[in-house]
């Protein structure tokens, strides 16, 4: 078997076009332009690229954006003051704090400071709690992007054995919760694997859908994949020979049924879902 590619770049362009239409309609009806404020602390080049991707995507969808770039040495208190100002600004609908933050900053305190109604990353504990209870306001961007990839490629989750490798708060944990939820995009039988999992390959080989988010370049190899499986690679690893996913694409492509590339897979979908959440935030804040 040689896997067909799930094209996240093309799909995200389609979704962004849909969002641009909805945004234009919303703005025509209300006179309000949705606005995303991004906070980028310090000058990490990777984070700069990600924030620029987000701002470019906003602009193309008719969503306004602001960029706030405090220096790396900012204190937690000063950063909280900036977030408070954005929370109180009625022209700002979404607030996003680019991660990772410098180590002197209390990340938990910062994410809790974002007004839950403006929390387009869905990292605030109120939004995490709502997600777990099955009454979400915003879905976290990367897991939501993956669900859209599955849905729009006619890959059903109901009854599927899905294995999630990685248990981060940003991808693995919310991904597993969404997949196990009752109803559309859910109803899967979900297994979560991590660094302490015994006989990982035996578990991953049971997956109809294998989702990998661990941050180790080319970690998942062909022997770990069931023939015909759908493989979703969330990895974004800078290596001496360029960008690599968490999946050994060359090898796994020979056994999988469908596979996402890196770049051009999950990454662009994450950005599209951020725009979706920003439009949702503007709707929630506009009578």
Long-range contacts at 265-268 (CB < 8 A, ≥ 24 apart): 265/6, 265/8, 265/9, 265/232, 265/233, 266/8, 266/142, 266/145, 266/146, 266/149, 266/232, 266/233, 266/234, 267/8, 267/236, 268/8, 268/9, 268/11, 268/12, 268/13
Contact with ligand BQF (CB under 6 A): which of 264, 283, 285, 286? Answer: 264
What is the nearest approach in angstroms of ligand BQF to the Cβ of residue 268? 5
End-to-end CA distance of the chain: 53
Active site residues: 54, 98, 121
Q: Please say whether the dihedral angle defined by the alpha carbons of residues 156, 161, 163 and 169, taken in this order, is positive or negative.
A: positive
Residues of span 103-122 touching ligand BQF by CB under 6 A: none
Nearer to ligand BQF, 156 or 263 (CB): 263
What is the nearest approach in angstroms of ligand BQF to the Cβ of residue 223? 26
**CA–CA separation, 255 vs 223, rounded Å?**
9
What is the nearest approach in angstroms of ligand BQF to the Cβ of residue 275? 12
Residues 6+ apart with CB under 8 A from 234: 142, 146, 166, 171, 211, 212, 213, 245, 246, 266
How far out from the chain centre does Cα 47 lie? 14
What is the nearest approach in angstroms of ligand BQF to the Cβ of residue 271? 5
193, HSE (Cβ side, Cα atoms, 13 Å): 22
What is the nearest approach in angstroms of ligand BQF to the Cβ of residue 222? 22
Indicate whether 268 belongs to the interface with ligand BQF (CB under 6 A): yes
Nearer to ligand BQF, 27 or 237 (CB): 237
What is the nearest approach in angstroms of ligand BQF to the Cβ of residue 47? 7
Indicate whether 134 belongs to the interface with ligand BQF (CB under 6 A): no
Considering only 16-24, 103-111, 194-202, 266-274, which stretch makes contact with ligand BQF by CB under 6 A?
A: 266-274
Contact with ligand BQF (CB under 6 A): which of 50, 123, 138, 219? Answer: 50
Contact with ligand BQF (CB under 6 A): which of 27, 33, 48, 53? Answer: 53
Residues that bind ligand BQF (rule: CB under 6 A) add up to a total of 10
Indicate whether 271 belongs to the interface with ligand BQF (CB under 6 A): yes
Q: CA of 83: how far to CAs of 32, 68, 98, 99, 236, in Å?
A: 22, 10, 12, 14, 28
Indicate whether 74 belongs to the interface with ligand BQF (CB under 6 A): no
Considering only 59-67, 71-79, 192-200, 260-268, which stretch makes contact with ligand BQF by CB under 6 A?
A: 260-268
**CA–CA separation, 70 vs 82, rounded Å?**
9
Indicate whether 136 belongs to the interface with ligand BQF (CB under 6 A): no
Indicate whether 263 belongs to the interface with ligand BQF (CB under 6 A): yes
Indicate whether 280 belongs to the interface with ligand BQF (CB under 6 A): no
Helix (H) or strand (E) run with residue 202 in it? helix 200-204
Nearer to ligand BQF, 181 or 253 (CB): 253
Residues of the shown chain interacting with ligand BQF in the complex, contacts defined by CB under 6 A = 50, 53, 99, 236, 263-264, 267-268, 270-271
């Amino acid at each position: 078997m040689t896997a067909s590619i799930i094209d996240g770049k093309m799909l995200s362009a389609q979704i962004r076009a849909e969002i641009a239409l909805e945004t234009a309609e919303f703005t025509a009806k209300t006179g309000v332009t949705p606005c995303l404020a991004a906070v980028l602390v310090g000058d990490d080049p990777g984070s700069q690229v990600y924030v620029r991707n987000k701002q470019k995507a906003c602009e193309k969808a008719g969503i306004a954006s602001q960029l706030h770039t405090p220096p790396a040495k900012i204190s937690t208190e000063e950063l909280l003051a900036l977030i408070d100002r954005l929370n109180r600004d009625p022209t700002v609908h979404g607030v996003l704090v680019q991660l990772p933050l410098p180590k002197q900053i209390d990340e938990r305190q910062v994410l809790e400071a974002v007004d839950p109604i403006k929390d387009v990353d869905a990292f605030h504990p109120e939004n995490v709690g709502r997600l777990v209870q099955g009454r979400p306001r915003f879905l976290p961007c990367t897991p939501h992007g993956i669900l859209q990839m599955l849905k729009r490629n006619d890959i059903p989750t109901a009854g599927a054995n899905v294995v999630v490798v990685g248990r981060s708060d940003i991808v693995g944990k919310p991904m597993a919760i969404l997949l196990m939820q009752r109803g559309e995009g859910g109803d899967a039988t979900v297994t979560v694997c991590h660094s302490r999992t015994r006989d990982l390959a035996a578990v991953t080989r049971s997956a109809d859908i294998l989702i990998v988010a661990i941050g180790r370049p080319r970690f998942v190899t062909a022997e770990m994949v069931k023939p015909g499986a759908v493989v979703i690679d969330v990895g974004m690893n800078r290596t001496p020979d360029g960008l690599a996913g968490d999946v050994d694409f060359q090898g796994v492509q020979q056994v999988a049924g469908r596979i996402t590339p890196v770049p051009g897979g999950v990454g662009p979908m994450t950005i599209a879902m951020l725009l979706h959440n920003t439009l949702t935030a503007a709707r929630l804040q506009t009578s």
